[in-house]
Amino acid sequence: MNAKTVLVTGASDGIGLATARGLAKRGAQVVLLCRNPGKAEQARATVAREAAAAPPEVILADLASLEDVRSAADEFLRRWERLDVLINNAGALNGRRRDSRDGIELTFAVNHLAGFLLTRQLLPALVRAGSARILNVSSDLHRQSQLDLDNLLDPPRYDAWSVYADSKLCNVLFSYRLAAGLSETGIRVNALHPGVVATSFARGSHDMRSLALRAARWTLRSPDSGAKCSLELATSDALAEVTGCYFDENARPVRSSASSYDSDLAEALWKICESACGCSFDPPAGDA
Ligand SMILES: NC(=O)c1ccc[n+]([C@@H]2O[C@H](COP(=O)([O-])OP(=O)(O)OC[C@H]3O[C@@H](n4cnc5c(N)ncnc54)[C@H](OP(=O)(O)O)[C@@H]3O)[C@@H](O)[C@H]2O)c1
């Protein structure tokens, strides 16, 4: 990964931090997108200790703000010419309903919409890289989604795991639609499930399912193991041409849910995201 630049969102903790460490070890210049300055500095120091080449850099942004997402992308474009790998990893399960700074349900705003806008804004640097890769960290929980696009931005009833599953289906729908749209550019786009990993995930949630997850923590994969699929997709020569796929925790391509292949659903979601972000995002349409 020498001379490659990689941006990882949610790099201050969990799978994102493990991914950033793994990439830095392999020689990449890693840019850590984090929201909390203190945690960002700790993560930067941790990654720096393992960096084989360029020291890591930090961009601060709260992905719950579309303005912050735009500023973060602008900062990246000012400081770097090209982006070889973008890893949209940041995500959360929120125990109670909250809204983003833009008045959008927070889980969807952070887990999906921020990645949509960040990818759009960074596209010039990804195109300049020649054969860039975009990874969207989804979850196998996307299979449980009963996605209702009419209520995505402002669900009338809030269920933490349902809105989480919806946001993760959105990640997969977006990945397939974007992969098709960018197929002529050399940019490869894939989605992945990192496994069930012992991280800070769901820390703010106290329902039975979250409590059970925390109780079973010792049986779960480690963050390093959870980073395995992202690292493989970011670095493997064998996967350099693979696009529009969904990968399991062992970096094997697997089928995602039936609705994730619904191109009408993907198109409608795309329009909602464009409208919520107040801008168009026009890679040419194509079959997923
Ligand atoms: N853990 C699992 O079992 C599992 C399973 C399937 C999929 N995933 C997915 O894996 C990804 C990483 O999750 P994780 O398990 O590593 O969780 P984690 O340990 O809680 O890490 C989440 C990261 O996202 C960041 N983040 C959250 N909200 C943010 C915001 N508004 N702005 C900027 N950054 C924000 C967090 O920043 P702070 O450090 O500031 O909180 C943290 O760096 C997520 O997309 C999650 O959905 C996880």
Only one residue has tokens 């196998």, namely 140
Query: Can you give the pLDDT at residue 2?
Result: 86
Q: Is 181 in the pocket of ligand 1 (CB under 6 A)?
A: no
- 3-state class (DSSP) for residue 201: coil
pLDDT in tens, 158-171: 999 999 999 999 99
The protein residue whose alpha carbon is closest to atom 5 in ligand 1 is: 196
Give distance in angstroms: CA of 284 to centre of ligand 1: 31
pLDDT in tens, 103-144: 999 999 999 999 999 999 999 999 999 999 999 999 999 999
Q: Is 94 in the pocket of ligand 1 (CB under 6 A)?
A: no
pLDDT in tens, 169-192: 999 999 999 999 999 999 999 999
pLDDT in tens, 209-242: 999 888 899 899 999 999 999 999 999 999 999 9
Q: Is 100 in the pocket of ligand 1 (CB under 6 A)?
A: no
Spatial CA neighbour of 56 closest among 48, 64, 66 = 48
Using only C-alpha atoms, the chain has a radius of gyration, in whole angstroms, of 17
164 catalytic residue (yes or no): yes
- Res. 286: pLDDT tops 50: no
- Res. 67: pLDDT tops 60: yes
Q: Is 110 in the pocket of ligand 1 (CB under 6 A)?
A: yes
Q: Quick one: which atom of ligand 1 is closest to the CA of 109?
A: 31
Give distance in angstroms: CA of 249 to centre of ligand 1: 16
CB atoms within 10 A of CB 217: 10
Q: Which domains does the chain have, with CATH numbers?
A: 5-277 (3.40.50.720)
Q: Quick one: which atom of ligand 1 is closest to the CA of 195?
A: 5
Query: Can you give the pLDDT at residue 288?
Result: 43
Tokens (6 digits) for 190: 């894939």
The DSSP call for residue 4 is -
Query: Can you give the pLDDT at residue 284?
Result: 56
The protein residue whose alpha carbon is closest to atom 37 in ligand 1 is: 10
